Amino acid sequence: MFSFKTKSLFGQTKQHERQIDQFVDILSEVGLVFKSIVPLYLNNGITDKFDEMVKQVSEMESKADKITKDVERALYEESLIPDARSDVLRLLEHMDELIGMYQGNCYHFSIQKPDFPKEFHKDLISLSETAVKCVESLCLTTRSFFRDIKSVSDNAHKVTFYEKESDKKFTSFVRRIFDSELHLDQKMHLRYFVEKIDRICDQAEDIADEIQIYAIKRSM
């Protein structure tokens, strides 16, 4: 009886570990898809491939939502990690919001079809790549929070670095937009998209800061 219970305890633990890993994988993959979507849209506009990729992001978002709910239920029902439970759940929720931000950006491109002149393509691609790198570093920070707590601050530092990079790119990009000859309405429209992408980095940095605090709380 006891051995059976012990077995099931460790079995379930492994399953929840896998779920959390899978969740982080999804965040990372959504970023990679987003990284491909931006140049695809800029070069070809709304195509079947673009729609397919947006759908892919949407499916991944639903999957991440389901995992968040499953883990949340398991942590409470099985009374796991009582001291770190609320931290872990908050972390997953905030990372889920990040996936939502990627998805929102994809939808906005699909619905609003912003018209980025050729001269801004490089800037937008560069900004979105920085955002993805920032989130990639956040994924590493999250993984280290769960498995290798002493690497948390190193990885969180990278998130901060990319967030600063993004801020710089955002400022110069927006300045260039408003210095251009475009109509004010178009300038505002483009700025909206640039801002949305930059916010991904802000959110990633906030989460990395949270993780650093959780890591301090977790130390013996």
Q: How far apart are CA 9 and CA 63, in angstroms?
A: 25
**Interacting span for another protein (CB under 8 A) from 15-23, 25-33, 92-100, 183-191:** 15-23
Residues 6+ apart with CB under 8 A from 141: 152, 155, 156, 158, 159, 208, 211
89 binds another protein (CB under 8 A): no
Minimum Å distance from CB 62 to another protein?
Answer: 24
Q: How far apart are CA 217 and CA 90, in angstroms?
A: 14
Q: How far apart are CA 110 and CA 187, in angstroms?
A: 18
Site size toward another protein (CB under 8 A) is: 23
**Interacting span for another protein (CB under 8 A) from 58-66, 73-81, 156-164, 174-182:** 73-81
183 binds another protein (CB under 8 A): no
In the list 14, 48, 181, 183, the residue contacting another protein (rule: CB under 8 A) is: 14
Q: How far apart are CA 17 and CA 180, in angstroms?
A: 50
> Please, which of residues 131-170 interact with another protein by CB under 8 A?
145-148, 150
16 binds another protein (CB under 8 A): yes
Minimum Å distance from CB 22 to another protein?
Answer: 13
189 binds another protein (CB under 8 A): no
82 binds another protein (CB under 8 A): yes
Please, are residues 120 and 176 in contact by the beta-carbon 8 Å criterion?
yes
> Whose Cβ is closer to another protein: residue 83's or residue 185's?
83
1 binds another protein (CB under 8 A): no
List residues binding another protein (CB under 8 A): 6, 9-10, 13-14, 16-17, 20, 79-84, 88, 145-148, 150, 218-220
